[in-house]
């Protein structure tokens, strides 16, 4: 049974999403890819997640009345973490309420040296005098008198004399770290862009930023086309080693997609490719290696050795990315074979090691990366958590796309939230977590993860739940989430005993990894001051449910857990706008202690223990 | 009439040349491309030009008896500046007696920071352990543990994992300034070469040096094939602007020639192109621009603006020079439109500003470059001196090749030295200077440069000279150098009144330029402590004769004048072997004051005055 979905539109971003009544604005915004700032952990005390609800604002609660002024409340200002969507809404999110985004970079205090708008490419319009007998210095020196010492490639040097004279010694110099990239006709100093990409195993997200203002001018996302060569990282690595041309095939797939996305970004921002001078990429180690055409064979074998650790600074044409002909590319540094640039970007975006420690960040994508910062040290590990949460390997699993049950609430009856407001066709990761957590809470699923036979179920459980437990022809028990209704375009959605087992394995891996990192740092779960849930998927998880199934530490208050959204993209955008941030990313990658779990005996023990729900 | 030429062979270089009896060893060695060290100006006092004459040693003179020990004299040691060739000789030149060559670099004292063997490319054989569970660092970091932080291009990074494993983590790292250029199989650390080129308007000379030992392994020279598109710099500039493809045509001509020369060098040194990692080029500004495909149009118009001043560091493949695929190229910095990298290399090789000042260097090639160093300042200018000295624009002029009269001595009779010992077919620059200087000395040519009519000639002049002055059908006077002898394969060689005028113009330009530089520095001719004659051509000039025609300062003792040979190649070789020398070249180019003579009114006045022989 599906409740009505309510449309909510966010401004100035213009993004609309649909959610169940009762969903917080915080969660709804995350759904739209907008991570609100919640330093208090969504407690309603810090006031950093304030939004203005211009249509459909519910009455303020006590927290809001305390934090916000009366006038503000009248204007529709509310706290994103406190307000629930009850009807169709229009919501304005000020830039200051977005977390770890580029907007913060400009607004933050000058005490934090990474938070400056300092892109690696700068443009400046210059007017020079033409050479005379009294002023016969070389052409390049003439420009250097205005711009400081400049290197340049030979091709631009070949064009320079003609350019200078055709443009009557006026134009816009494009400079990156003392290298002249171009000398453009007229004053194009504000036409200066860069693109940041989060290259996920499943999804690629790209953003176009203006280097003069730091503004995000366009965003786009696509399925990673490599998916057709394997769902997860390991199957892609296997494919890349299957023939000499396979690696190049995978590289071409992703690069072609990026090029097409750049087309979209440039179109949306109403500019041109030639005004894009820098592209930055963050992804897991395998995705980054494939992007660069680097051999991934060693990533598929113990001890999982990457080719490089430091970030790669390349020319865009070395990767066939057709931005400005002398455009640049930066690929994030990595920490290990399975802790990649995406994690580094996350550490950067959240300023993890500068948070009040100890703080844990969990990014659940196709893989699950776990990072613990404490006392100036950072520890990171990766677990093969993904497939269950991404919907694969489940009987009714699916990705978080239209038709996926992404939320399950069981009170008197079982209610589902379905993405797109259409008929449900399967369960995505967050729906799965909700469902299992609710069934554990109600005692339908045992701590060991067993579905009881219908006759064994406590009579306390409502009749309508009890009768959803069935047994198939092979004797496997399953729980019916959505009943088959003929002629209503609804087919049956179930969760089987095996599905529950898959979830236990995935959650158990993250839980065991967390224990290993805590142990390494000499900490217990209870010591954690904050837990950050990163990643697009993570934003849809109900915190208490994630704790109940053991995915997140269960011994801390759920209010210490907060959503930070797509920190990979945030970190990439940040590094695009600030070379200092880039330097800091390099530092984090270098200093983070990488713990290889798959060969850690301790991990095996914790993993076995984690097979029981907390 | 031609005197007998005497063969002289130099060791260990194995070069043989032919000279007239009475030629100094210093001059003879210069003829073979070997510039002896003469800090005392060829005065016979410093002993720096010592050579060992193993065959044909004449008795020592007083200077030699004073400077050399009795035992040395018995062993055949003599001073190159004092000993004259009288019979066929075999001469050993120790490396310490050669000027400004690379050999000095290794031997000189450590107080001079540029004189170290410190090429930009280094090789080191390393053996590493393979990755293990306990040692799972990235491939590049594994190499960095041995080599320090390394950048690398993406293509090499793509090859690195395979190389490391195929070579079992052993091999030779090729590194340039923290950039990994290659990781070769086995220990190839001694197979490390670089090439230095002097790109002259007329001649290209190349040298291959071993970076481990500093030794010169091969030398070759060729005519610059661009000659077919014009003899001098200005006609080449005109050609390069004649059509859009002309510049590229000129570039291709010179690059193809260089590639063919590299073949020869590599073959002679018994090595391979892939072991050549660095190529350095020094030439005049136009030659360097054409080599790099840089627009030369502005070099042909007032105010003669070059594209760049600082040296250019490029990848060899950017210029299509097929050495190692990741090999490097360095093109010398320039001082001005007509004072190029060849002059900078000369300043570097002679350490001009470190000489006891004031010191003047004159390089007479197709152009005449003049450099004055005094009191820490360097002044440089260029004059269009060349064509006359290179033999063009003269009725019987020719280049200094076989059949060219390169020396003229008039005592009782007129004697000629002919290159190659064959029948004379024309006059080259040095022969022309000799001839005119001797005719001035004897009063056959007046101070104004006039050949008198035969009846007007003083009776003091021997009859056989007087009767050589004739008048052609157009009324132009000429002087017969070699008479037409039918059936003896000798044709008439003459010098006309117009030829003398050409020489006056050329010498006058250099003389006027010298005056301008002296004036700028607040000096007079008499203040000059030393005058260095640079360039292959300069080595063949008789000093007193060059003074007599006004080409070199006439008011100083001729012993203050010394030959320094091809300092362009010496400087290029030096910069190839030492990055400190390269830095110093950049410093000289930056600090030298460039004086543009062609638009200097003062120069016009001095030039007019210089029309009268001193």
Q: How far apart are CA A9 and CA A53, in angstroms?
A: 10
Q: Say what the pLDDT of residue B117 is.
A: 86
Instruction: Look up the pTM and report it.
Output: 0.81
- Is there a cis peptide before residue B303, judged by omega within 30 degrees of 0? yes
Task: Let me know if residue B346 belongs to a domain.
Answer: yes
On whether both B520 and B461 belong to a single domain, the answer is no
CATH code where residue B354 lies = 3.30.420
Question: Is the bond into A343 cis (omega within 30 degrees of 0)?
Answer: no
Does residue A425 sit within a domain? yes
Residue of B nearest to A153 (CA): B314
- Residues A408, A462 within the same domain: yes
CB-CB neighbors (< 8 A) of B587 in chain A: none
Query: Last residue of some domain: B34, B66, B98?
Result: B98
* A105 inside domain: no
Same domain, B14 and B66: yes
| Average pLDDT along chain B | 87
Which has the minimum average pLDDT: A126-130, B137-141, B410-414? B410-414
More confident residue, B36 or A471: A471
Confidence (pLDDT) at A104: 32
Q: What range defines the domain where residue B177 resides?
A: 121-184
- Picking from B132, B160, B303, B318 by the largest number of A CB atoms within 10 A of its own CB, the best residue to mutate is B303
ipTM of this predicted structure: 0.81
For the ranges A126-130, A157-161, A449-453, A567-571, the lowest mean pLDDT is seen at: A449-453
The pLDDT score that the predictor gives to residue A387 is 59
Are B252 and B383 found together in one domain? no
pLDDT the model gives residue A114: 42
Q: Do B139 and A305 touch (CB under 8 A)?
A: yes
pLDDT, one tens digit per residue, over B93-132 is: 887 777 643 333 333 333 343 456 899 999 999 999 999 9
In CATH, what number is assigned to the domain containing residue B168?
Answer: 3.10.20.880
Q: Which two tokens stand for residue B606?
A: 């001095």
Residues B326 and B353 in one domain: no
Query: Domain check: are A319 and A202 in the same one?
Result: yes
Contact check, Cβ <8 Å, A295/B137: no
**Rounded Cα gap, residues B438 and B513, in angstroms:** 24
Let me know if residue B348 belongs to a domain. Answer: yes
User: Is the CB of B298 less than 8 angstroms away from the CB of A336?
Assistant: no
The H or E element containing residue B378 is strand B377-383
DSSP code at position A99: S
Considering the domain boundaries, does residue B397 fall inside one? no
Q: Which of A174-183, B85-94, B595-604 has the highest mean pLDDT?
A: A174-183
DSSP assignment string, B30-96? HHTT-PBP-TT-SSSSS-TTEEEEEESPPPP-HHHHHHS-HHHHHTTEEETTT-B--S-EEEE--GG
A599 touches chain B (CB under 8 A): yes
Q: Is the pLDDT of residue B505 over 90?
A: no
Residue B360, domain member (yes or no): yes
Residue A24 lies in a domain: yes
Averaged pLDDT, B432-456: 87
Q: Say whether both A159 and A197 belong to one domain.
A: no
- Please, are residues B196 and A332 in contact by the beta-carbon 8 Å criterion? no
Contact (CB<8Å) B161/A302: no
The answer to whether residue B279 sits within a structural domain is yes
Do A373 and A457 have their domain in common? no
CB neighbours of A110 closer than 8 A, spacing ≥ 6? A116
Q: How confident is the model at residue A109 (pLDDT cuts 50, 70, 90)?
A: very low
DSSP state of B311: -
Best probe of the B interface among A150, A151, A161, A331, by most B CBs < 10 A, is A161
**Tokens 């607040």 belong to which residue?**
B522
Residues A16, A28: Cα–Cα separation, whole Å: 10
Between B131, B138, B158, which is nearest A293 by CB?
B158
Domain end call among B474, B493, B512: B493
Q: Specify the DSSP element, H or E, that contains B389.
A: helix B386-389
B158/A474 Cα distance (integer angstroms): 50
Question: Least CB-CB distance to A138: which of B293, B305, B596?
Answer: B305
Chain A partners of B297 at a C-beta cutoff of 8 Å?
Answer: 161
**Residue A29 sits in a domain of what CATH number?**
3.10.20.30
Same domain, A507 and A592: yes
Same domain? For B178 and B202 the reply is: no
Same domain, B584 and B552: yes
Q: Count up the domains in chain A and report the number.
A: 5
Highest mean pLDDT among A6-15, A214-223, B391-400: A214-223
A102 has a pLDDT exceeding 50:
no
User: B448 with B315, same domain?
Assistant: no
Final residue belonging to a domain, choices B442, B465, B493: B493
Among chain B residues, CA nearest to A599: B133
CATH number at residue A239: 3.30.420.480
Greater confidence (B1 vs B544) lies with: B544
pLDDT digits (tens, 9 = 90+) for B227-264: 888 878 889 999 999 998 999 999 999 999 999 999 99
Task: Mutate one of A157, A318, A594 to test the B interface: name it (highest B CB count within 10 A).
Answer: A157
């Amino acid at each position: 049974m599906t409740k009505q979905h309510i449309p909510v539109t966010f401004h100035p971003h213009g993004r609309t999403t649909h959610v169940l009544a009762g969903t917080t604005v915080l969660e709804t915004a995350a759904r739209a890819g907008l991570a609100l700032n919640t330093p208090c952990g969504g407690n309603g005390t810090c006031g950093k997640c304030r939004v203005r609800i211009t249509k459909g604002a519910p009455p303020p609660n006590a927290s809001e009345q305390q934090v916000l002024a009366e006038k503000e409340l009248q204007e529709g200002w509310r706290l994103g973490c406190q307000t629930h969507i009850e009807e169709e809404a229009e919501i304005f999110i000020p830039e200051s309420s977005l977390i770890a985004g580029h907007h913060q970079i400009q607004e933050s205090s000058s005490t934090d040296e990474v938070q400056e708008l300092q892109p690696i490419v700068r443009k400046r319009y210059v007017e020079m005098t033409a050479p005379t007998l009294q002023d016969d210095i070389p052409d390049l020196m003439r420009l250097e008198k205005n711009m400081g010492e400049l290197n340049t490639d030979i091709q631009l040097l070949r064009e320079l004399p003609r350019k200078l004279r055709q443009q009557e010694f006026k134009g816009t110099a494009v400079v990156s770290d003392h290298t002249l990239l171009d000398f453009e006709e007229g004053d194009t100093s504000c036409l200066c862009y860069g693109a940041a990409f989060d290259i996920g195993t499943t999804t690629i997200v790209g953003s176009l930023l203006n280097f003069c203002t730091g503004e995000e001018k366009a965003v786009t996302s696509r399925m990673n086309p490599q998916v057709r060569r394997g769902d997860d990282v390991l199957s892609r690595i296997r494919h890349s080693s299957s023939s000499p041309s396979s690696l190049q095939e995978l590289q071409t797939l992703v690069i072609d997609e990026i090029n097409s996305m750049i087309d979209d970004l440039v179109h949306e921002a109403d500019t041109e490719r030639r005004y894009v001078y820098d592209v930055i990429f963050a992804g897991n180690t395998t995705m980054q290696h494939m992007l660069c055409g680097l051999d991934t064979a060693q990533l598929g074998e113990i001890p999982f050795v990457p080719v490089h650790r430091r970030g790669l600074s390349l020319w865009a044409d070395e990767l066939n990315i057709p931005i400005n002909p002398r455009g640049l590319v930066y690929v994030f540094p990595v920490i290990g074979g399975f802790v990649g640039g995406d994690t580094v970007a996350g550490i950067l975006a959240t300023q993890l090691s500068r948070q009040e420690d100890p703080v844990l960040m969990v990014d659940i994508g196709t893989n699950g990366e776990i990072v613990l910062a404490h006392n100036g040290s950072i520890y990171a590990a990766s677990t093969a958590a993904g497939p269950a949460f991404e919907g694969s390997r489940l009987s009714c699993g699916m990705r978080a796309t239209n038709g996926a049950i992404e939320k399950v609430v069981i009170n008197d009856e079982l209610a589902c939230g379905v993405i797109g407001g259409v008929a449900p066709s399967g369960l995505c990761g967050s729906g799965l977590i909700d469902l299992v957590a609710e069934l554990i809470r109600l005692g339908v699923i045992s701590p060991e993860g067993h579905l009881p036979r219908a006759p064994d179920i406590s009579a306390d459980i409502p009749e309508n739940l009890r009768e959803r437990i069935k047994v198939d022809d092979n004797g496997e028990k399953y729980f019916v989430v959505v009943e088959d209704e003929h002629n209503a375009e609804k087919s049956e959605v179930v969760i089987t005993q095996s599905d529950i087992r898959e979830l236990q394995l995935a959650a158990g891996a993250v839980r065991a990894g967390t224990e290993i990192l805590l142990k390494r740092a000499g900490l217990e779960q209870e010591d954690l001051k904050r837990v950050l849930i990163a990643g697009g998927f993570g934003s849809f998880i109900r915190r208490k449910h994630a704790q109940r199934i053991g995915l997140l530490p269960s011994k801390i208050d759920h209010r210490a857990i907060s959503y930070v959204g797509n920190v990979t993209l945030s970190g990439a955008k940040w590094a695009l706008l600030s070379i200092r941030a880039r330097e800091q990313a390099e530092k984090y990658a270098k200093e983070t202690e990488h713990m290889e779990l798959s060969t850690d005996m301790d991990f095996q023990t914790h993993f076995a223990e984690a097979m029981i729900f907390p």
